[in-house]
Structure 1
Amino acid sequence: MADPQPGYRPAARWLHWIVAAVVLLMIPAGLIMIRDGISRPVQDALFLFHKNMGVLLVPVILVRILYRLTHKAPPLPRTVPGWQRIAARLSHVMLYLLLVVMPVSGFVRVRAGGFPIELLDRLGVGPWLPKSERVAEVAQSIHAIGAYALIAVLAIHVAAAIQHALIRRDGVWSRMWPPAGPGKTRAVRPGR
C-alpha cells in the first residue's frame, strides 16, 4: 500500500468547517428573510442573525485567507486528472473571492441604506459610509448576484467532494475531514 497522502493541518480544517457551517446557515436565512409573506418578527430575527453572523464571520474569513496564503495546500493525489485540478483551483479562488465580496457588499448595502448593524453599533463602530440609496441599491445587486454565484460554486464544491468521497475514494475527501484530523490521509490505492 502507498504512503498516506498529505492532508490539511488541523487549523486549516477547523477554519474550513467553521466558515462552511456559518455560510450554510446564512444562505437559507438570507434567502428566506427577503421573501414576501414572511411575518415581520421572523423576518427581523433573520435579518439580525444574517447581519451579525456576517460581522462575526469576517475575522474568521480573514484569518482563513491569511492562513491559506502562508500555508501551502497539500498536493492532490496523482490520480486526480488535470482538468479536475484546474477546476478545483478555480472553484477555490471563486469561493475565497465570494467570501470577501459577500460581507463587503452586505455591509455597504446595510450602512448606505441607513440601517443598523447591531453588533458593530454596540462595539462603537461608526457607519463608515454616508446614507445613499443609489450605493445601497448597487451593493444590494452585487450581494444578490454574489449569493447565487456562491450557491452555485458551493454546489459544485460539495458535489466534487462527494464524488471523491463516495465514488473515486481517492483520499481527497479525507484531506479535509474530519475537522481535527491528523495531517495525513489514507493511502490512495493504485489504479483507482
Structure 2
Amino acid sequence: MIWKNSEQRWGGVSQLLHWLIVLLILGQGIVGLLMVDMLNSPDKIRIYALHKSFGLTILALALLRLLWRLATGAPRPVPGIPRWQERAAVFTHWLLYALLFTIPLSGWLFNSAAGYPLQWFGLFNLPAIAGKDEALREAAIAAHAWLFWLLVAVALVHAAAAFYHHLFLRDATLARMLPRGWLHTGSADTAPTPPEDSRDA
C-alpha cells in the first residue's frame, strides 16, 4: 500500500483518517442525539465526558488530515468529469473540513461558556476558550446543533455523489478512497501509479 497521496488515488494515510473520522462522526451523532434526553445521573455525566473527548479527537484527526493533504497533495479529478462537478467537489470537500473544525470548536466554546471543565479521556485538562457567559453558552449550543445537521446534509450529498459515480458513471471516484482492489472500475483506478520520485519531482 502506498501511504502518500498520488495523482490517481488517495494514499493509505488519507484513507485511514477519512474512514476513522466517518466512524467517529456516526458514533458521535448517535450518542449526541440520545444523551440529550437522558435524566441527570452519573452515567449521563460520563457519556457527556466521552462525547467531548471523542469530539476533541475528531478535531485533532481533522487537523492531521488537512496537514497531510497540504503536504502530499490530492488526486487529480477523474478524467471526463465536467468542470462544474470538479468545482462542486472541491467546494464540498472544503466545506466538510470547515464543519469538522467548527462543530468540535462550538462544543468547546459551549463547554467553556457554561463553566464546565474539559478533559481528554481523563488524561489532561484543556483550557477554556471563553469565560462563563450564559448568552454565549446558548448561542454556542445552538450553533453546535445546526452545524451538526448541516454536516449530515453535506455528508449525505457527498456520499450520494460518490455512489452515483461508482454505480452509474463507473469511474474511480469511490474506489480511490478505498484500498486498491476493493472496487473495480474501468477508469483511473486501474491506471498505474507513477513512481514516488517522479511524483515528487
What range is the shorter-chain TM-score in?
Answer: 0.7 to 0.9
* Equivalences, count: 179
Kept in 1, the 8 Å contact 2:24–2:58? The answer is yes
Q: 1:123 & 1:63 partners in 2: Cα distance?
A: 20
Shift of 1:126: 3.3
The answer as to whether partners of 1:8 and 1:175 remain within 8 angstroms in 2 is yes
Query: C-alpha distance in 2, partners of 1:174/1:16?
Result: 13
Identity, % of aligned positions: 30
Match of 1:114 in 2: 115
Q: Which amino acid aligns with 2:111?
A: V
- 2:99–2:147 CA contact under 8 A, matched in 1: yes
1:186 positional shift: 5.0
Secondary structure of 1:7's counterpart equals coil
1:15 counterpart (17, 24, 30) = 17
- Indicate whether 1:164 and 2:165 are aligned: yes
Contact 1:33-1:43 at 8 Å conserved across structures: yes
Asked if 1 retains the 8 angstrom alpha-carbon contact of 2:9 and 2:176, the reply is yes
* Aligned mates of 1:57, 1:77 — CA distance in 2: 28
Residue of structure 1 in register with 2:187 after alignment: 188
| Alpha-carbon displacement from aligned partner over 1:59-82 (angstroms, at most 9, x marks no partner) | 211111111122221112222222
Measure, in 2, the Cα distance between the counterparts of 1:43 and 1:86: 43
Which region of structure 1 is more displaced relative to structure 2, 169-178 or 76-85? 76-85
Q: Which amino acid aligns with 2:176?
A: R
> Where does structure 2 lack aligned partners over 5 or more consecutive residues?
1-6, 189-201
Give the aligned residue type for 2:52: K
Alpha carbons of 1:122 and 1:8: their partners in 2 closer, same or farther (altered >3 Å)?
closer
Distance verdict in 2 for CA 1:116–1:71, change over 3 Å: same
CA distance in 1, matches of 2:156, 2:186: 27
- Maintained 8 Å contact 1:109/1:140: yes
Length-normalised TM-score, structure 1:
0.83
Equivalences for 1:93-172 in 2 at 5 Å? 93-119=94-120, 122-172=123-173
Asked whether the equivalents of residues 109 and 140 of structure 2 are also in contact (C-alpha less than 8 Å), the reply is yes
Structure of greater relative contact order (alpha carbons < 8 Å, 6+ residues apart): 1
SS at match of 1:15: helix
**Separation of aligned partners in 2, 1:6 and 1:59:** 27
- Contact conserved, 1:55 with 1:120, CA < 8 A, in 2? no
Residues 15 and 64, structure 1, Cα contact 8 Å, conserved in 2: yes
User: Deviations for 1:127-152, whole angstroms, at most 9, x for unmatched residues?
Assistant: 34321111111211221111111011
